[in-house]
Amino acid sequence: MGLCKKILSISFKEKSIFRFDYLVNTLFSFFYIVLKVYLWKGLYGISGEAVSGIALNDMLVYSILSSFTAGITKTTVMNDLNESVLSGSISSNLLLPIGLKKYLFLHSVTKNIFLTLYGIIPSVLAAMLFFGFHAEISPVNLVLYVLSVIMGTLINFLYNFLFGSSVIWFRNSFFLNNINSVLLNLFSGALVPLWFFPEPMKILSVFLPFRYIVFEPIAVLLNTKSAAETAYVFAMQLFWLVFLFCAATAVWNRGRNKIMIQGG
């Protein structure tokens, strides 16, 4: 535990050196939210009539919350693994006493903390003041949302670690990172909520982990689900956590042996 705290502290200090980068990211994050909001306003038209039972205000709230949720659940572990293999630094990382997977997770957590503090929260608060934020959120739903986001963050990390480990065989998984970004933005609901998906895509999203990273936590927060549906969301998040953890561990163990054979 002491070693984990030390790694978090060192990583946190490293990120603090580049605070300006995160401040610049605040501006980009804000303009990204503005772009999404005006896009939905344009699609709804002047009348602002409800589409598929979803009112314009609900979409504005969702746009702000999706930017916030997608930001705090984000991970760059796939890219980190790719760079470590290409640079050869993975050989030294394998010697870490806490294990590479835990180290990358702690590194991802500290990066997200800084991104949240200096990029996401300021941009979201600015968007809420600029566009208004009209949503009834109960303390219970807020707690459930936090728990769901934590599980969504773990799901996203394990998924990215699982497929990022393929760099051991491909030598460069840059193309997988691009594919993953498309799938995540589409099926997580970060760009378009699953409410508007055609039925075949809705069915497909049920068999993928992405919806439990962004869309479902927001649905829980906005109280659009019954108690039974909320329990189902948490059950599915737990299922994906266990499945991805086992799969990532198995793939990494096999890949690590390959690295050790090649590296001596």
**Token duo for residue 87:** 């640079």
Distance CA 66, CA 124 (A): 10
**Token duo for residue 131:** 């566009």
**pLDDT tens string 190-199:** 888 888 888 8
> What average pLDDT does this structure show over 122-147?
84
**pLDDT tens string 239-263:** 999 999 999 888 888 877 666 434 4
Question: Confidence band (pLDDT; 50, 70, 90) for 110?
Answer: confident
What DSSP designation does 196 have? G
Beta bridge partners, 51, equal: 54
Residues 11 and 107 sit within 8 Å (Cβ to Cβ): yes
Minimum mean pLDDT range among 12-16, 61-65, 210-214, 234-238: 12-16
pTM: 0.83
Distance CA 171, CA 30 (A): 36
**pLDDT tens string 147-183:** 999 999 999 999 998 888 877 776 666 667 778 888 8
Distance CA 155, CA 107 (A): 16
